[in-house]
Amino acid sequence: MTTAPVPPGAARFLRPRGHVIDGRVVPPIGGDTLPVEDPSTGEIFSHIPAGDAGDVAHAVQAARASFNAGTWSRADPAHRGRVLWALARSIRDQAEALAWLETRDSGKPIAEARADITGTAEILEYYAGLASQIFGQTTRVPGNNLGMVLREPAGVVGQITPWNFPLYVGAWKFAPALCCGCSVVLKPSELTSLTLLAAAELALAAGVPPGVFNVVSGTGASAGAALASHPDVDILAFTGGVVTGRKVLHARADLLRPTQLELGGKSPNIIFADADRVQAIAGAAFGIFYNQGENCNAGSRLLVHADIHDEVVAGLIARARAIRVLPPLDEQSQMGALVSAAHARKVAGHVEAAIAEGASLRCGGPAPRQGHFERGHWFLPTVLTDVAPTHRAFHEEIFGPVITVTKFSSDDEAIELANATEFGLAAGVWTADVKRALRCTQELRSGYVWINNYNPTPVEVPFGGVKSSGFGRDCGPQAVDTYTTWKTVLWSLAPFEDWYKH
Ligand code: NDP
């Protein structure tokens, strides 16, 4: 086993001394901390500040003051772009340290953590370029008026982010918000806050002014709820589960303030009989097992044409068994540990319920408590077949390395099964037939469709869902819609006509 060594830069971020608020590292007002566990061993290796409503209020106040001061909100967009580019550079410089922290915090394999960090730099580089490309509109309107429609930064933005891709999905939120000139208060998941606290410090060093990018760690029930219900937060952007998303939306409804939600899914991955089998099987395995299946767009429902079902299942099981489930810092690791004991119990409960309902467990399940599986929260790549659309496993988000397989016999049936879910985040289609692929892109009710591919989410194109998967978009120029508002200016080119002149 070759274990990735502790990178020299990691120690600096390993034990955060506080939140990052108003350009300073500040201890939590209440003085409490939360333990940080390595999910692969159960070891408590750090502590983070336990923020509460007081810390959130402090951060929102700092964000509002910086927004009003205009040091960022009214800065030249090109300047904002240069600063975001400098932050991307700094993240690339610190990539090994950040990847190491991410792996210890989340349990994901070091190779996948490195991909997250590179992806984070790419997100920042994209929005660095976009900063000068946010255009308003002008139009002539009746009465010899010129209509100018300005795009303005939306104000103070609250962001609540999940534990599965901590820095990467965090950057999906904070990079476009900063690009647009907003001031941000971000609350990472208490399970994985280290890299986002580090990023806020790096942002300061890169030239983001004090108060513009604040990170407050703490529990969802305390810091998260306080941020969602804070009346001075203009826009709230959230990624997480449906239950919490609903609570956040309730809080925002009371305030009558806009919200962007990304809430996960139960995404179908459809293999038609004409597909390239080798590629489709590889894509099905990657679609569910990447990041331990803790992935909002995981291809968790495999729909396979009856004619090729047995061949695909055999190939998938072989792939699942070959995945190297190893300590995440091992350079050979292809799957790490689940994020927490509670989550591992939840995943195991889903699999038990599926078997009780008639599904067949073909491989996987909880890892035997021996060797490196003795401590930590391990679950093996799992394939469930004979899963019917009436089963809970067909509908409920498991959020672990568990794929369900369901047969279909016609294109109509495949599309009907694919859409038979409350979610609509993503879908995959494997076929050699262009017309079939096009029909699927038209009829699948989801925010993302991969054709002969699964999982890549390049920053250049939007990401988000329909139905219970949420609304609004991360990534692409579309994220600018979340973080800007329109202001209409009507400029008269003619003398003012007095309505009361007669
Ligand atoms: P949550 O939805 O609870 O967590 C997402 C974020 O919301 C975290 O920062 C969390 O903080 C915060 N939060 C929790 N409670 C509140 C609250 N009352 N008000 C405001 N913010 C809050 O995810 P869980 O960890 O509970 O996971 C549950 C399920 O959600 C998973 O099994 C999975 O199905 C789904 N999920 C989907 C994700 C996605 O990418 N779409 C990501 C994560 C989970 P904290 O973690 O500190 O409690």
User: What average pLDDT is seen over the chain?
Assistant: 97
Q: How far is CA 253 from the centre of its chain?
A: 23
221 in a structural domain? yes
* Residue range 3-19: mean pLDDT, rounded: 89
Residue 307, domain extent? 268-451
pLDDT single digits (tens) 180-211: 999 999 999 999 999 999 999 999 999 999 99
Q: Is the confidence at residue 4, as pLDDT, over 80?
A: no
The contacts found for 408-411 with CB under 8 angstroms, 24 or more apart, are 408/270, 408/303, 408/304, 408/305, 408/306, 409/305, 409/306, 411/272, 411/436, 411/439
The pLDDT score that the predictor gives to residue 6 is: 83
pLDDT single digits (tens) 73-121: 999 999 999 999 999 999 999 999 999 999 999 999 999 999 999 999 9
* 227 and 293 inside one domain: no
* 254 and 376 inside one domain: no
- Residues in contact with ligand 1 by the CB-under-6-Å rule are 160-164, 187, 189-191, 219-221, 224-225, 228, 239-241, 244, 247-248, 262-264, 296, 397, 399
* 61 and 127 inside one domain: yes
The pLDDT score that the predictor gives to residue 211 is: 98
* 142 and 274 inside one domain: no
The pLDDT score that the predictor gives to residue 143 is: 87
Total structural domains within the chain: 2
459 in a structural domain? no
* Residue range 419-446: mean pLDDT, rounded: 98
pLDDT single digits (tens) 293-352: 999 999 999 999 999 999 999 999 999 999 999 999 999 999 999 999 999 999 999 999
- Distance (Å) from CA 199 to ligand 1 centroid: 21
pLDDT single digits (tens) 109-166: 999 999 999 999 999 999 999 999 999 999 889 988 999 999 999 999 999 999 999 9
Nearest CA to ligand 1 atom 10: 220
The pLDDT score that the predictor gives to residue 391 is: 97
5 in a structural domain? no
251 in a structural domain? yes
Gap between the Cα atoms of 21 and 62, Å rounded: 7
CATH number for the domain spanning 301: value is 3.40.309.10
- The residues, any chain, with a CB within 8 Å of residue 413's CB and separated by 6 or more, are none
Nearest CA to ligand 1 atom 48: 220
How long a stretch of residues is the chain?
Answer: 502
User: Of the residues 262, 397, 440, 475, which is catalytic?
Assistant: 262
Q: Is the confidence at residue 223, as pLDDT, over 90?
A: yes
Tell me if residue 475 is catalytic.
no
502 in a structural domain? no
Gap between the Cα atoms of 384 and 309, Å rounded: 13
* 272 and 259 inside one domain: no
* 22 and 108 inside one domain: yes
The pLDDT score that the predictor gives to residue 113 is: 98
CATH number for the domain spanning 85: value is 3.40.605.10
- Which atom, in ligand 1's list, is nearest to the CA of 243? 2
464 in a structural domain? no
Output the pTM of the full model: 0.97
The pLDDT score that the predictor gives to residue 5 is: 79
* 292 and 220 inside one domain: no
The pLDDT score that the predictor gives to residue 128 is: 98
* 95 and 241 inside one domain: yes
* 148 and 254 inside one domain: yes
* 195 and 280 inside one domain: no
316 in a structural domain? yes
Q: Is the confidence at residue 389, as pLDDT, over 80?
A: yes
* 182 and 317 inside one domain: no
242 in a structural domain? yes
> Under a CB-based contact definition with an 8 Å cutoff, are residues 296 and 77 in contact?
no
Gap between the Cα atoms of 186 and 195, Å rounded: 12
In the structure, what pLDDT confidence band is assigned to residue 380 with cuts at 50, 70 and 90? Answer: very high
Tell me if residue 443 is catalytic.
no
* 423 and 324 inside one domain: yes
CA dihedral 336, 341, 342, 348 (to 10 degrees): 70
